[in-house]
Structure 1
Amino acid sequence: MIDRLPPPTAAPLEGAVMMHQHWDDIAFLHWAVDPALVAPHLPPGARPDVLDGRTYVGLLPFTLRGAAPGTLPAVPHLGTFLETNVRFYSVDDAGRRGVVFASLDASRLAVVLGARAVFALPYRWSLMRHAVRVRGGARELLWTCRTRAGATSRVAVREGAPLRAPDDVATFVSARYGLHVARSGRTRWIANEHEPWPLRSAELLELDDGLLGAAGFGDLAGRAPDHVAFARRVTTRFALPRALPAEPAPAPVR
């Protein structure tokens, strides 16, 4: 039996740290959907994680800053870039609750090539911009993205006050400490750890998105997200990938 909500803090990583990085100025836009719509997009051994009968599709633009292998200092230039991802929420038979990425758009070609080759993550090299302005004492943040195939995304939010206690949806989509990734016919689990997200309220100012449609969820972009939040930074560390147990072969027909 899986608990209704994931634990608010991460378990310590086992083994060596593969990489570390900061996730800065991140907007959380989420739409509640029928789990049956997400299930075909997940790798073998993972199924949709569910909260009150629904799962969520997320659109998250942010800045990835200071990435580096192991515990080394940040890689200059290549270690900082813009990213926008479309993601789902997964759980496996061992109860590990993570994310599955439908797409990850990034502004650094070398990062895209490396992540695709080493981790089989669905990164794309895209043209991206990020702008921040202060109006009325509040920060307003804008992210734009254009993929090589012509899909575009434009998201703007106004940052609000820190949440005293995150609601259930905020906890469900943010307390994620790993990802399920399909590679060479096997699903791998990549654990990570970070402090609980310092979530804030946020007001959606603008949404004109084609990334959800490119991932097979075009109907979602036509309506406002069911949940919006924002955070300024967490620092995360990743462990080396571990393969999930292979699914048993079907019994021979007698």
Structure 2
Amino acid sequence: MKKSWIMKQDWNDLIFIHWPVKVDDLRPHVPDCFDIDTYEGWAWIAIVPFQMKNIQLRGLPPVPGFNQLLELNVRTYVTYNGEPGVYFYTLDANHLIGVGIARYVFGLNYVTARMSLDQQDGTYHFLSRRTHTGYPPAHFHARYKPVSPVLRTQPGSLMYWLTERYALWVNRGKRIYKGPIFHQNWQLQKAEVEMPINDLTDFLPSSVFDRKPVAYFSKNLHTSIFPFERYQ
């Protein structure tokens, strides 16, 4: 990339929890400016809880109390002018200042929440309770663990299509922005997940979540965030 990164982050103890969804069910919830990306005719919805560490802004030293947080995002996959990327519905996080900066600077739908992430006997327990003013309450509780060795992501596979995404798309009024992200290929393991509570995806038919999700775990990924590019 020609431009320099503006932020670096490590994403730890992350799980992708995916379900296929009919395009017609998803279309009302994606801005018209974006085309819904599909794999073998299906759109996909994902919940992604993880821990973000070693947050560093370019040119600044790590700031104690600001360089880590918990995050829980709800996302789907879109294209703009044929270029694939991620579209975020919500991004819950347990850092008030970080949420404010992300909302104001990047236009992302970050919201505050009380969160915890614990590990017991190889199983991760992620809990979240949304606290953001003006948003309805949303609770989430998941238990997850990796159950396979690290897998190789093959281009063309569903696993590759779901995870190897290097841009996020944002619409702010009539303007569209691309947020480039750089990282090495994910080191993924198959995962088992249980979700006793999930209020994050109530905008979709409950039948979507009757089937077992496609889940992949990543222990660690180092990422670089680049300046947003305005497209319109």
Would you call these one fold, judging by a TM-score over 0.5?
A: yes
CA distance 1:110–1:170, shift in 2 (3 Å): same
Structure number, greater radius of gyration: 1
Residue number in structure 1 paired with 2:218: 231
1:242–1:170 CA distance, 2 compared to 1 (3 A): same
Structure 1 residues 49 and 113: CA distance shift in structure 2, 3 A: same
Q: Flag structure 1 segments of 5+ consecutive residues without an equivalent.
A: 1-12, 247-254
Equivalent position amino acid for 2:64 in 1:
P
The CA deviation at 1:66 is 1.1
Correspondences of 1:3-42 after superposition (within 5 Å) = 13-42=1-30
The DSSP-based 3-state class of the residue aligned with 2:71 is strand
Mapped partners of 2:105, 2:212: distance in 1:
33
Counting only pairs closer than 5 Å after superposition, residues 180-219 of structure 1 correspond to structure 2 as: 180-213=169-202, 216-217=203-204, 219=206
Determine whether 1:79 maps to 2:62: no
1:170 to 156, 159, 173: 159
Aligned identity (percent) is: 26
TM value normalised by structure 1: 0.83
Deviations 1:83-114 (A, max 9, x none): 00000111111x32110100000000000111
Contact 1:97 1:178 in 2 (8 A): yes
TM-score (norm 2): 0.91
* RMSD of Structure 2 on Structure 1 (CA): 1.8
Q: Give yes or no for the alignment of 1:145 onto 2:128.
A: yes
Distance 1:78 1:198 in 2: 26
Give 1:222 deviation, angstroms: 4.5
Residues paired across the two proteins, number: 226
Give the AA of the match of 1:125. T
Uncovered stretches (5+) of structure 2, i.e. residues with no partner = none
Out of 144, 155, 158, which is 2:142 matched to? 155
Deviations 1:166-223 (A, max 9, x none): 472211111000100112421100111001110001111344200111xx12515752
